Amino acid sequence: MVFMQESDDNRKDRINSSVLQRNRWLMLCVVCLLIVGAYIFLGRVDRKAHAAQQALSSPPGAPVSVAQAKKENFGVYLPGLGTVISLNTVTVKTLVDGEMTKVLFREGQAVSRGELLAEIDPRPFEVQLSQAEGALARDQALLQNAKVDLERYKDLVKKDLIPTQQLDTQQSLVHQYEGMVKTDQGQIDSAKLQLVYAHITSPINGRIGLRQVDPGNIVHATDANGLAVITQLQPISVIFSLPEDNLPQILGKFRSGVRLTVEAYDREQKQKLATGTLLTIDNQIDPTTGTVKLKATFPNTSNELFPNQFVNARLIIEVKHDAIIVPASAIQRGPEGTFVYVVQADQTAALRPVTVGVTQEGNSSITTGLSGGELVVVDGADRLRDGSKVEVKGQNSGTPTPQRHSK
């Protein structure tokens, strides 16, 4: 019994020793985890402090605005002030006197050549026609009788039964009746023409204006004002002026047979109204202004242009295909020439020498030194040097006004 009691005590000692050892290992693991966590936490704090110190020690990038260099067609043009002029303007007038009984057009209506516009009372001319036809019938009968008598007199003269003078007199009478017949025919033609003139038609294709005379009025061929005014709108022309210094360049293209394109813009030069071609160049220079007039034609299929409208005309002299276009504000000038600042991938500005081609309307074409898609600084370049850090504050969506042209 004593031996068994001792065995139970030993077993309890061993169990207590095992629990104590396990608790020690658990405490050791907890201490190790605390040490590792503290190390990681202190390392992060140290790195943040280092980054903050580095940010404070290094200066921030210069704020700039950028734009992307575009690769597209660039039209080189000469601008001039112009006025829209109708190719044909007709004041519709009556060619006969009488009462205007009908007006068959609407004000502002598009009319075609030969379309009936108004009618003059035709009855007086119908009476004249009837009288002329009666006179013609009478004189034709007299002429026929005189010719029959002439043939008789010729036979009688041959038989020596009447004198030759009587034959000559009859021959003269035949000629008189022939003249009367021609006169009567002329009267008939005149009366028929008056009837045609009584029906007033449009002489051209165009748009008719406001009515000047109401039905029921007596109109005369000598009236100062017509019935209405018709202006041709399709096609239509624009007359504009350019400085005489540009004349040699224009003549060189024009005489070589090149069809020069002319564009018409509104007063603010923001909206393109129509596109046409150069028709001709005036034969003299205006000495008071030193300019020469040019005339361009436009199809005007949608009636974009209106007679006497003021427009800004652009004569396209040349189209540069696949040109590199940047805003003119990106171009910088220094002792060594023109250059731009190109924003690199590491947010630094690189000074890039470029060759500038044509500049117009706030945009410049770059001949050499730049590629399409690169970002150039358009605002804030005065604070930059080659390699300066930059911070992009804004980017233009594209160059504002290089016009796209195709041939």
- Each residue's pLDDT tens digit, 131-150: 999 999 999 999 999 999 88
**How much is the pLDDT for 406?**
38
Quick one: tokens of 71?
């690769």
Give, as one character, the DSSP assignment of residue 380.
Answer: S
- Tokens for 387? 């390699």
Instruction: Quote the pTM value.
Output: 0.65
Contact yes or no for 364/76 (Cβ under 8 A): no
Q: Rounded to the nearest 5°, which phi and psi values hold at 104?
A: -105, 10
Q: Is 28 part of any domain?
A: no
* Sequence-distant contacts of 301-304: CB under 8 A, at least 24 apart: 301/234, 303/233, 303/234, 304/264, 304/273, 304/274
Provide the number of structural domains found in the chain. 3
166 with 281, same domain: the answer is: no
Residue 45 lies in a domain: no
How distant, in Å, are the alpha carbons of 231, 243, 269, 285, 360 from that of 79? 27, 10, 10, 17, 10
Give the number of C-alpha atoms closer than 13 A to the C-alpha of residue 113, restricted to the C-beta side.
7
Q: How far apart are CA 77 and CA 263, in angstroms?
A: 9
Residue 22 lies in a domain: no
Report how far apart, in Å, the C-alpha atoms of 56 and of each of 50, 60, 254, 385 are: 10, 9, 66, 21
- Give the closest residue to 254 by CA, choosing from 320, 319, 316: 316
Statement to judge: residues 378 and 302 lie in one domain = no
| 316 pLDDT above the threshold of 60 | yes
pLDDT exceeds 60 at position 43: no
What is the domain extent for residue 392? 63-72+321-396
Integer distance in angstroms from the first to the last C-alpha of the chain? 121
**Tell me, what's the pLDDT at 37?**
67
| pLDDT tens digits, one per residue of 238-250 | 999 999 999 998 9
Residue 74 has pLDDT above 60, yes or no: yes
CA-atom Rg of the chain in angstroms: 50
Residues 283 and 328 in one domain: no
19 falls within a domain: no
List the CATH number of the domain containing 326.
2.40.420.20
27-36, 214-223, 394-403: least confidently modelled range: 394-403
DSSP assigned state of 268: T
> Where is the domain boundary, 320, 344, 363?
320
pLDDT band at 309 (very low <50, low <70, confident <90, very high): very high
Whether the Cβ atoms of residue 66 and residue 384 lie closer than 8 Å to each other: no
Give the whole-angstrom CA distance, residue 294 versus residue 283: 10
Do 147 and 196 fall into the same domain? yes
Both 288 and 172 in one domain: the answer is no
The answer to whether residues 316 and 341 belong to one domain is no
Backbone torsions φ then ψ of 112, nearest 5 degrees: -110, 160
Compute φ and ψ for 170, nearest 5 degrees.
-65, -35
Strand partners, 340: 352
Token reading at 141: 């009968």
Cα–Cα dist 72/63, whole Å: 29
Q: Check: CB of residue 296 under 8 Å from CB of residue 242.
A: no
Per-residue pLDDT tens for 196-240? 999 999 999 999 999 999 999 999 999 988 999 999 999 999 999
Q: Is the confidence at residue 294, as pLDDT, over 60?
A: yes
* Residue 11 located in a structural domain: no
Of 118, 109, 100, 180, which Cα lies nearest the Cα of 144? 180
Q: In this structure, are residues 315 and 250 in contact, taking their beta carbons and an 8 Å threshold?
A: yes
What CATH number does the domain containing 124 carry?
Answer: 2.40.50.100
Residue 151 CA from chain centroid, whole number: 78
Q: Give kind and range of the element (H or E) at residue 332.
A: strand 332-334
Classify burial at 133, counting beta carbons within 10 Å of its beta carbon; exposed 0-12, middle 13-18, buried 19 or more: middle
Q: pLDDT band at residue 69, thresholds of 50, 70 and 90?
A: confident
CATH number of domain containing 83:
2.40.30.170
DSSP string, 87-155: S-EEEE--SS-EEEEEE---TT-EE-TT-EEEEE--HHHHHHHHHHHHHHHHHHHHHHHHHHHHHHHHH
